[in-house]
A and B are shown apart, each in its own frame.
Chain A
């Protein structure tokens, strides 16, 4: 019995799980998807949105923009970055870059933490996030979380408000960010979260936090985690919202259709931005055995 291929069906009670806003969002969208993706770690290479080619272009363009923004914020001179954006095969990138350079002066103030990774215990597990940018104003004990969104359509405020990201990012900054604030946790009301849209630069969406919202976020996150911990192998149910399945790669497995939904109707921005692009650095070392 080759056990290399045996997959778990529930969370390992002996192993802490690394939660992120993306995995929690997946759970909130569909428990079955969470089980397939994070518990079973099942790669299922179907299309996420159609046309496949455009979807890929969209994801890669988003990744390139994130890289340019990161470089600019780290102090790489803007001129070569502008040249790279202008030479990009995708004309949208140059436009996004131009929008971003208009935003840059506002990002100059305070201390900038680019691609900041934070992590804190969550029950017997861990919660982690990588922030595009956190702008810290130490004198005021204030922080602004920036998140670049490269989606084709500008999502509605209500939709963003319901996303786990909007809950997790400020919560985790309070939990794990005291080292950014002279050793004191940020007061929740001193945290602002801004979604900035590359295609709609003049219409950012801002969310403020409060002590009550922070406490509620903590309770909601723990409740979610306890719910996941308590699920048995058959407890991860398919979502009743079949619309969700149109943009889910597991749809054939769940018998929820054949073709992927149209890219233009996808409110989320796809998967490439949910974390760092995984690069296998160690192939050189591992392949020889």
Chain B
């Protein structure tokens, strides 16, 4: 590892130092921290005594890579955790010590809820209340509504205020129409209901895991001794992206640690909407013995850094430090005059292709947008496909339940359980057959469904009963496979219904993944099936832990929840996609938190105000629900404008600091919806340009 003098200074600090290291992104802080980690191991510090703490796992990549390499000295395994992960681990391990005091049944193990199962229970409790008029005035999708209430619970836990104060805090800062106060009261009611239900049923959502750790475990003698013995050295990276909960843990540990290295990224702080708190991170500096700073960038050419600072000045950010005379022009690429949105996408795809043709590796290109809705991703990837550009996206574009393989399994489950009354439509059966049977085309699938499926009683009839002419048109090889599938389903339906995930497992293994069926040669269909089965299994575990369903078949509840979009609506990949050398397409914040600089960045639709305005969240508030928001202070439109400008500056600077070469601005005069657009980001860049022109 070739290190700069500043990095070497970090590595060579005495083994017992408690260091606070700050600097901008790209200045080499994480590389220095990784080198110090390896140096600690080399010096004989047992790996089992070292904890690397990160706000989210994507930021731990360089540490994992170093620990996987043969360069790391042999010894105990270093732990790499998030604060939430630590809390869950401790709750799981020391449950018998605290369950009773925390209000749970100590004889039963804790049931940890995933985001999906937490959302399910929230829906379960809130849905009946809609009839009473709850959230009548809120016009957002119900699933977003559930997730925002959960968000509030999580914030309360991470920031450290009682759940019972959510509504009060939100209301006290509200300066708009009074009808919104009713909404906040409804939020509070639902948060209380959810919390009570979890306590009664031994369910621990993320917020309860954090609370139980903070209130009951952290100070238990056994737990603190366990942690004291196993955590002697801490490296905490990106503390500015972490929450007050993580900072509190560090604050408590620091005086007793053998060594510490806390890393603070100046100008960042992108996870504030998830409870991250820069100010509380900064306060940790006082508990450290040595402060080190890193300046400059090992990544970004000076003109790009200067462009970031100039944008900051245009946005009237006091901390911006613009200098004159930087030649940022060469680092910025403007499109020709493009009037329509699709033309902009064509331009981006074309530019990417030219870069590849001139020798840029695909992995050195990122296409970034503030949000990446499916339609945009689809439109873009179609164009890249047409030009033969390899790309990868941060996650599949569809929800799990919309993946054809998942839809096939869900439809077959409904067919196999006629008693549940969830009859699939003929179209659904067509698509299920199309996915399930190899070498069937859509026309044959339609023909087959037409003659064998009666939606009225949700029954499939045998292939042998079809008119011979039709059999021939469908072909006998397709017919045989269909018949084996039908017989399997009929056979299953005769017996006692199995748990849904077992049903899926057997159907997949015994039929759908066998030769002649659609999942056999389609590896990704297997992956989708695995994700669906895991989702159904975790759902079952959560329901079983809470004492079952009162007579309603669990599988039926699962299928209904999928239909409602409560379950399987997101696709959380349980496996790490292989790191292909491909153009990366992602929302801008995801790119920032992946923290992998590239040579070329395309900023998509840079005229859109999506770069500037935060997502509407009528049931929560990232700034009001923070530790430093003064009780009772109103959140005004001036606050909103200020916060947005600050966030835009940090975002633009963060992106520029992760660019090694050139930024390509992509915009069209008219937005996707046909409106003329000049969002704040584009205006700021224009302003910088005008200032430059005025200077001559």
Contacts and interface: CB of A to CB of B under 8 A. Distances in A.
B529 interface: yes
Contacts of B44: 179, 183
A113 B512 CA distance: 46
A285 B206 CA distance: 11
Contacts of B589: 289
Contacts of B326: none
Nearest to A183: B44
A258 B484 CA distance: 13
Interface in A16-60: 16-18, 40-47, 52-53, 56
B115 A287 contact: yes
B48 A117 contact: yes
Contact of A282 (B56, B154, B526, B590): B56
Contacts of B634: none
B529 A45 contact: yes
Given A16-B68, A67-B92, A289-B394, A179 B76 contact: yes
Nearest to B57: A282
Contact of B575 (A41, A47, A125): A41
B69 A284 contact: no
Contacts of B570: 287
B88 A252 contact: no
A126 B274 contact: no
A126 B526 contact: no
Nearest to A76: B96
Contacts of B115: 283-284, 287
Contacts of B581: 3
Interface stretch (B126-134, B307-315, B496-504): B496-504
A76 B225 CA distance: 12
Contact of A42 (B388, B498, B527): B527
Interface string B514-536: 11000010011011011101100
Nearest to B271: A285
A289 B572 CA distance: 11
A84 interface: yes
B161 interface: no
B509 interface: yes
Given A71-B96, A252-B509, A118 B576 contact: no
B529 A281 contact: no
B513 A253 contact: yes
A124 interface: yes
B62 interface: no
B477 interface: no
A130 B48 CA distance: 11
Nearest to A176: B74
B575 A280 contact: no
A160 interface: no
Contact of A2 (B55, B381, B520): B381
A258 B510 contact: yes
Contact of B520 (A1, A77, A253, A259): A253
A124 B70 CA distance: 6
Nearest to A17: B68
A119 B82 contact: no
B406 to A, nearest CB: 12
Given A16-B69, A289-B589, A284 B154 contact: yes
Interface stretch (B105-113, B178-186, B601-609): B105-113
B70 A7 contact: no
A249 interface: yes
Contacts of A251: 509
Nearest to A278: B574
B93 A70 contact: yes
A53 B502 contact: yes
Given A1-B388, A288-B274, A282 B508 contact: no
A103 interface: no
A80 interface: yes
Contact of B76 (A84, A116, A288): A116
Contacts of A71: 93-96
Contacts, number: 223
Interface in A223-259: 249, 251-253, 255, 258-259
Nearest to A81: B96
A111 B546 CA distance: 39
Contacts of B461: none
B291 interface: no
Interface string B560-581: 0000000000101011111011
Interface string B154-193: 1000000000000000000000000000000000000000
A29 B107 CA distance: 40
Interface string A173-198: 00110110001000000000000000
A18 B68 contact: yes
Contacts of A16: 68-70
Contact of A47 (B273, B509, B527, B578): B509
B58 interface: yes
A123 interface: yes
A38 B384 CA distance: 30
B363 to A, nearest CB: 9
A251 B513 CA distance: 9
Contacts of B530: 43-45
Given A77-B96, A83-B107, A126-B70, A179 B578 contact: no
Contacts of B88: 279, 281
A44 B394 contact: no
A121 interface: yes
Contacts of A179: 44, 46, 75-76
A67 B502 CA distance: 25
Interface string B72-113: 101111000110110010001111110000000011110010
A1 B385 contact: yes
Given A3-B391, A4-B393, A81-B96, A281 B74 contact: no
Nearest to A72: B96
Given A282-B56, A289-B394, A53 B509 contact: no
A222 interface: no
Nearest to B56: A285
Contact of A117 (B77, B93, B393, B520): B77
B392 interface: yes
Contacts of A125: 70
Contacts of B523: 5, 7, 40, 42
Contact of A281 (B46, B85, B504, B587): B85
Interface in A59-78: 64, 67, 70-71, 74-77
Contact of B524 (A5, A70, A183): A5
Contacts of B31: none
Given A84-B109, A126-B70, A284-B206, A255 B577 contact: no
A216 interface: no
A280 B529 CA distance: 18
A255 B511 CA distance: 12
Given A3-B362, A183-B44, 15 more contacts: A2-B392, A2-B393, A3-B581, A42-B526, A45-B534, A56-B502, A67-B92, A74-B222, A77-B96, A116-B48, A117-B47, A119-B76, A178-B75, A286-B57, A289-B587
28 contacts: A2-B381, A2-B391, A3-B392, A4-B577, A7-B523, A8-B578, A16-B69, A40-B523, A45-B526, A45-B533, A47-B509, A67-B92, A76-B97, A77-B97, A87-B108, A118-B75, A121-B72, A175-B74, A176-B75, A183-B44, A253-B513, A253-B526, A279-B112, A282-B56, A282-B85, A286-B58, A287-B572, A289-B593
Interface of B: 44, 46-48, 55-58, 67-70, 72, 74-77, 81-82, 84-85, 88, 92-97, 106-109, 112, 114-115, 154, 206, 222, 226, 271, 273-274, 362, 381, 384-385, 388-394, 396, 498-499, 502, 504-506, 508-511, 513-515, 520, 523-524, 526-527, 529-531, 533-534, 570, 572, 574-578, 580-582, 586-587, 589-590, 593
Interface of A: 1-8, 15-18, 40-47, 52-53, 56, 64, 67, 70-71, 74-77, 80-81, 83-84, 87, 116-126, 128, 130, 175-176, 178-179, 183, 249, 251-253, 255, 258-260, 278-289
